[in-house]
Amino acid sequence: MKSGLSGKPGRQINKKTMKSRLLFFTIWMLFFGFYGRTQRSDRALQRQLDTLIKGFHGNVGLYIYDLKKDKYAAINADTVFSTASIVKIPILIGIMDRIRKGELDYHQRLTYTDSLYYKYGDDILSDFKNGSTIELSKVMMLSLTISDNCASLWLQGLAGGAARINEILDSLGFRETRDNSRTPGREAARERYGWGQTTPREMAFLMRRIVRGEVFGKDAGDKMLRLLSRPYWDEVAISQIPAGVFVADKNGALDENRNEILFVNAKHPYIVSVFTRNNADTSWNYQTNEAWRLIRKVSAAVYGYYNPGSGPANIMWEK
C-alpha cells in the first residue's frame, strides 16, 4: 500500500497545500502590512488637533500627512464632504490628461461664446464678449488662481465632462472623490454635496500623488504644483506659513462649508487637508468667520509642529 505522503496523489495534495499556505501568508502579510501602516499615527500632533477643534460649531474633517516620516493625524478623515471649489483640482487633472495626450495644447487659443456664460460669484471670464479669444493656459490660471467658476466649467467640458474626470479618479484608486456637475446619474450626489465631493484622506492622497509625480508623471505633477502655487485667496491656511516657503494650495467655500488642501514644501514637508460642513457661522468675513479662524489655527499649529523655531507668519487678527 502506498503512503499518502508519496506517489502522484501525495504530490498533488502537497502542491494544493503549499498554494493554500502561500495564499494565506500573502493575505496575512498584506493585512498586517496595511494594519502596520495605519498605526503610524502621530499621537502628539493628534492631541493638538483634537484640542483645536473642541467647541467648533459644525463638523470638521482633517488629514495631516507627514511626507518626511510617513506619519499622519486624522479626524473624520473618511467622512464625505462637499469640495466646493476644491473640485477644480480633479478638473485640472482632467485637462492635464488631454494635454499629455496631445489632444489639447497648453498655449492654444480658445474662443469664448455666450453659451459658456456662467455668473456665480465675482468671476472674470463671464464678463468676456462673445467671440473673444484666450489661451487655454490663462483659462487654467483663472480657474485655479481666482477660482473662476465660468473658467472651471469651460475646462470641465474641455476635459470630456465630469464623467471622464471621474473615470480618471477611479483609475487612480479614488472611490469617494467625484465631480458631480452636469452628469447623468449623479443628480442625487449633486443635490447633497454640490459640484464635487471628497474625503479629507482622499484629497490628501490625491495631492500626495501629484507631489510624487504619480499622476501622469513627474513633469505633469510639477506643472500642476506650479499652477496651484499662485492662489489669490491666501488669507486662510497660507497666511500662517512664511512667504519664502513653497505652497501648492486650493481652497473652497460655501455658506456652510470652508475647506482647504495644501502641500507645504518646508524643511519638513507635509500636506494639510481640512474640510468643514454644517457650519453655524455662515458669515464671509475673513477675520471673524469661525471656520476660517479654525483653518488658520490648524495651519499654524501644523507648521510650528513640523518646523519648530521657524514660527508662522504673523496675521494681526490671529495674534
Note the pLDDT tens digit of each residue in 73-117: 999 999 999 999 999 999 999 999 999 999 999 999 999 999 999
> Which of 12-16, 38-42, 262-266 tops mean pLDDT?
262-266
Higher pLDDT, 257 or 123: 257
Average pLDDT over the chain reads 89
Give dist(CA 6, CA 159) in Å, integer.
Answer: 63
**CATH 3.40.710.10 is held by the domain 41-318:** yes
Predicted local distance difference test score (pLDDT) of residue 317: 52
All residues at 6 or more sequence positions from 316 whose CB lies less than 8 Å from its CB, including other chains: none
Domain boundaries, the chain: 1-39, 41-318
The answer to whether residues 92 and 144 touch, using CB atoms and an 8 Å cutoff, is: yes
pLDDT exceeds cutoff 90 at 25: no
Predicted local distance difference test score (pLDDT) of residue 18: 55
- Residue 28: pLDDT band (50, 70, 90) is very low
Predicted local distance difference test score (pLDDT) of residue 20: 54
Tell me what the mean pLDDT of segment 186-215 comes to.
98
Tell me what the mean pLDDT of segment 291-302 comes to.
97
Residue pLDDT, tens place only, 41-63: 999 999 999 999 999 999 999 99
Give dist(CA 237, CA 170) in Å, integer.
Answer: 29
Predicted local distance difference test score (pLDDT) of residue 310: 78
Predicted local distance difference test score (pLDDT) of residue 121: 72
Give dist(CA 166, CA 161) in Å, integer.
Answer: 9
All residues at 6 or more sequence positions from 97 whose CB lies less than 8 Å from its CB, including other chains: 159, 168, 216
Higher pLDDT, 313 or 132: 132
Side chain identity, residue 21: R
Residue pLDDT, tens place only, 75-86: 999 999 999 999
Tell me what the mean pLDDT of segment 227-249 comes to.
97
